[in-house]
Amino acid sequence: MKTEQLLLELEQLVEQAGYTIRKEKGTFRGDSCVMEGEKLVVLNKKKPEQQQVGLLARVLQDQPLHDIYIKPAVRRQLEELWERFEQFKDREIEELDIDLE
């Protein structure tokens, strides 16, 4: 699955998990938070798509997804990313070399 398509799929899943996604430009990495009771994910539009995918996968890793349908190809990609996150637990997401092609 192409990175661009995976990014779109993960954005939909994050929204189904109850988050609002904001895409902004700046000198920040991006992350998730709760602001005024609203679950929010802020993505940096300047960052490569692979890093945005990594951030969204990390957000989804901590969510109960049993009530959300995830396409098998997307689920495989997520599980692969989650496994990598476990292997590199102490490193920043930006440092992971996420090759999705």
What are the tokens at 59?
Answer: 């957000």
How far is it, in rounded angstroms, from Cα 64 to Cα 31? 18
pLDDT over 90 (residue 53): yes
How far is it, in rounded angstroms, from Cα 74 to Cα 89? 22
- 23-59 exposure pattern, b = at least 16 Cβ within 10 A, e = fewer: eeeeeeebebeeeeeebebbbbeebebbbbbbbbbbb
pLDDT over 80 (residue 35): yes
**Greater pLDDT, 40 or 96:** 40
What does the domain layout of the chain look like in residue ranges?
A: 3-90
pLDDT digits (tens, 9 = 90+) for 61-89: 988 998 999 999 999 999 999 998 888 77
Q: Residue type for 74, please?
A: V
